[in-house]
Amino acid sequence: MSQRSDSQPPSQETYLRKDGTAFCGERKECDFFTFPFTSGFPSGGTHRGKSATYSWRTKPVSIATKRGDGGQTGLAGGIRVSKGSLRVEAYGTIDELNSALGLARAISADEDLKRRAKEIQRDLFRVGSALATPPESRKGQVPITVEMVEGLTTQVHEFEAIDGLLSDWSIPGEQADGAAFDLARTICRRAERNIVRLMEAGEAVEPTVLAYVNRLSDLLWLFARKAELGGQVNSSLRELNGKQGPRWSRAW
């Protein structure tokens, strides 16, 4: 049963009686039961009062909370910080990377790359959460495991063994999905730099987070080359410029 409290904020809920009629307002009572917004009742269901049974529903919560209008945002656990903080920049770039990788996946015709990219996108939510959870948060840290990093390393070696895959300087843009994976790779590198800055500023970050992002950038470069190989296009900068030399030597 809810406790009446005048200190509670007014509710703008709409309540429905079981007969279908509705009432709304700042606070409504059913004999000795009250139904304020902060009463702790679940968002939807029924509750029996002294003389009638009522059902209630909560209004949808908008993503436009307006709490960030002053330039602050909330970390995991409710800690408020500047949107310009290094930690927000780090996990925000992971969010950007996830979106870029989603675009690459959406336009790729390679089902294997699409599957791998989607698995990575799911992991990136964990990476972003790990970066958004400082040690002082009341929420527990989301672990980025050594096994997750090793899984990316295994994929790197798998792709490097593909016959005919370019292993030298490439020029982005020879094929749409390859270019999209290249763009995701550069965002991944920026995320890595932001994480390094966060760590150098004395903020706690699990070492596996940085290792995961570092390894992922290598893998995304290989994703782009695999996409081009499947499309039978050549993105070799060395061949384009007619430059001789060992791989990764100057080709411009």
pLDDT in tens, 89-123: 999 999 999 999 999 999 999 999 999 999 999 99
Cα within 13 Å of Cα(180), Cβ side: 19
Residues 166 and 45 in one domain: no
Residues 44 and 83 in one domain: no
- Section 56-79 average pLDDT: 70
Residues 44 and 143 in one domain: no
Q: What is the extent of the structural domain holding 112?
A: 72-228
Total count of domains within the chain: 2
Residue pair 196/132 in contact (Cβ under 8 Å)? The answer is no
Among the residues of 132-175, which ranges form H helices?
146-160
Residues 52 and 145 in one domain: no
- Check pLDDT > 90 for residue 44: no
Domain-located, residue 233? no
Residues 179 and 222 in one domain: yes
Residue 121, domain CATH = 1.20.1200.10
DSSP state of 73: E
pTM of the model: 0.74
Residues 94 and 210 in one domain: yes
E strand intervals along the chain: 14-17, 22-24, 29-30, 33-34, 45-48, 53-57, 72-74, 80-82
Give the chain's end-to-end CA distance (angstroms, integer): 75
Distance separating alpha carbons of residues 120 and 126, to the nearest angstrom: 10
Domain-located, residue 62? no
Domain-located, residue 4? no
B/e letters for 107-123, b = 16+ CB within 10 Å, e = fewer, are ebebeebbebbeebeeb
Give the pLDDT score at 185: 98
Residues 133 and 178 in one domain: yes
- Check pLDDT > 70 for residue 47: no
Give the pLDDT score at 11: 42
Residues 53 and 98 in one domain: no
Percentage of the chain beyond pLDDT 70 is: 73
Residues 153 and 220 in one domain: yes
Give the pLDDT score at 237: 97
Confidence of residue 135 (pLDDT cuts 50, 70, 90): confident
Domain-located, residue 36? yes
Give the pLDDT score at 83: 75
